[in-house]
Structure 1
Amino acid sequence: MRQRRRSNMTDGEIKVITPDSLLNETMKLHEEGWRLVQICARALKDGEGNEITYSFGDELILGNLRLTVKPDEPLNSISHIYPTAYFYENEMHDLFGIDVQMMTVDFGGHFYKIGAETPFKK
């Protein structure tokens, strides 16, 4: 078993952060050897914006970073830290209208063929 370089994040923990701290928090986890597992967005009621959960794995430990973005508030991409994040980020843009900035691969709103613009945006 490898020596852990883990932060003090516990299994199943959800650490609430601000959009401004996303890059720093993500970089720390990357440097400690955490893998990106998934990014999940959900629309908040009454057009208050979106809640985004970033999940990271370290062996059998799953830790999460959660933040809220207001409508039309830009969010920095983490795809330069975790290259596969661009899949999730393009999805968040197309389905929820989240303004993800500086994606390494940006499909320009054409990641999905959908019948309505940003169908999950409330």
Structure 2
Amino acid sequence: MAIEEQVLREIALADLHKEVQVYHNRGFRLVQVSCSMVEDSFELSYSFDKDFHFESLRVMVPPETTVKSISGIYWAAFIYENEIHDFFGLTFEGMSLDYNGTLFKTAKKFPFANVTFRGEEPCQRK
């Protein structure tokens, strides 16, 4: 059995809503939204599936940038967006359900925004 290549496209933040709408219109389901810190930016990955065909969009978001919610297209995205807000501090505008930073109770505000290795320096630089 041949392994199917998985599509990963990097797009501009300004194109995110339009691209997500295209996936919705083509009948793809939203699989997940994830966030990672890369250098000094947030890397958001949006993954979609249709008939076992998996595709992802990746967008780089500078700090202090507000991202337009996709929950108007995929309603359940609000849970991913609230989670990303609570762990990374990234702000989403227009979520279908906004927990205002209370979805997760954490000991440290935005614990994944500046992850360090034993308190020394960012993990990526180790």
Aligned residues: 111
Q: Distance in 2 between matches of 1:44 and 1:15?
A: 17
- Percent identity between the aligned chains? 33
CA contact (8 A) 1:41 1:50 kept: yes
Q: Secondary structure at the match of 1:62?
A: strand
Q: For 2:46, what is the secondary structure of its paired residue? A: strand
Structure 1 residues 84-105: Cα deviation after superposition (integer angstroms, max 9, x where no partner): 0000000010100111111010
Give the conservation status (yes or no) of the 8 Å contact 1:14–1:64.
yes
Q: SS where residue 15 of structure 1 aligns? A: strand
Distance 2:83 2:62 in 1: 17
Where do residues 2-13 of structure 1 align in structure 2 (5 Å cutoff)? 11-13=5-7
Q: Please tell me whether residue 23 in structure 1 is matched to residue 29 in structure 2.
A: no
Give the alignment's Cα RMSD to 1 decimal: 1.0
Deviation (angstroms), 1:109: 0.3
Separation in 1 of the partners of 2:89 and 2:41? Answer: 10
Greater radius of gyration (CA): 2
- When normalised by structure 1's length, the TM-score is 0.88
1:113 aligns with 2:113: no
Could you list the structure 1 runs, at least 4 aligned residues long, displaced by more than 3 angstroms after superposition. Answer: none
CA distance in structure 2 between the aligned counterparts of 1:89 and 1:40, rounded to whole angstroms? 9
**Relative contact order higher in (CA < 8 Å, ≥ 6 apart):** 1
Return the TM-score normalized by structure 2. 0.85
Matched, 1:96 2:85: no
Structure 2 gap ranges (5+): 115-126
